[in-house]
Each structure stands twice: as structure tokens, then as C-alpha cells.
Homo-oligomer: A and B are copies of this chain.
Amino acid sequence: MAYDYRHMVALADPTRRRVFELVAQRPRSVAELTHSLPVSQPAVSQHLKVLRDAHLVRAEPRGASNVYHIDPQGLGEMRAWLDSMWTDALGSFREAISKSMETKE
């Protein structure tokens, strides 16, 4: 069940981020993405693979071209992680605060 942070890894690279943002705006083919970016087509394909594996985008074949759109699953998993982090981590954070209050007063 352990969260594997694939989404963070995927979004850590600036170019890959740009790919994701472009796809998030509206569905786009690989050729279209390549034209909007300062890197080669294979580079774009490689980034898309990482984003696909992280369930952040999904490919939809449309004839010879491959149209990518957002995959809600990735964002959903991130949100779930963030929510649990919010309660767990910030819970113990609050405890620590109270304790340091006690110590100081």
C-alpha cells in the first residue's frame, strides 16, 4: 500500500512538467507536443512514458497519431497521499507544538 511517489518523480523534471501542463490544457498528439517544445520527438515520447507509468496521462490512438489526455487516476492518488499526510503528519506536528508549549511554559 506504500505510496511510491511516482507522480513526484514524474513532475520533478521541468520539460516533463511542461508536457504534462500542455496535455492538461487540452488533449494533444505527440507531434503537437513536439512542436510546442524545444526537444526532439523521442524525448517527448520518453517523457510521455514516464507520465503514463505514473497514471498522469493516457494515450488514445487516433489513426497514425497518438492523442494524450489527462488521466485522473494520478492526480487522485496524489490527493489521497496528500490528505493522509495532512492528517497524520500535521497531527503529530500539532502534538509537537503542544509539547513545546508545555516545555516552555
In the complex, the answer to whether A78 meets B82 with C-beta atoms within 8 Å is yes
Instruction: Determine how close the nearest CB of chain B comes to the CB of A32; give it in whole angstroms.
Output: 14
Query: Is A8 an interface residue when CB atoms closer than 8 A count as contact?
Result: yes
Mostly, the A contact residues are helix
Give the interface residue-count category, chain A.
20 to 34
- A26 in contact with B70 given A8-B11, A8-B12, A79-B82 (CB within 8 Å): no
In the complex, the answer to whether B24 meets A92 with C-beta atoms within 8 Å is yes
Chain B residues whose C-beta falls within 8 Å of the C-beta of A11 in the assembled complex: 5, 8
In the complex, the answer to whether A24 meets B75 with C-beta atoms within 8 Å is no
Question: A residues within 8 Å of B by Cβ?
Answer: 5, 7-9, 11-12, 14, 17, 24-27, 69-70, 72, 75, 78-79, 82, 85-86, 88-90, 92-93, 96
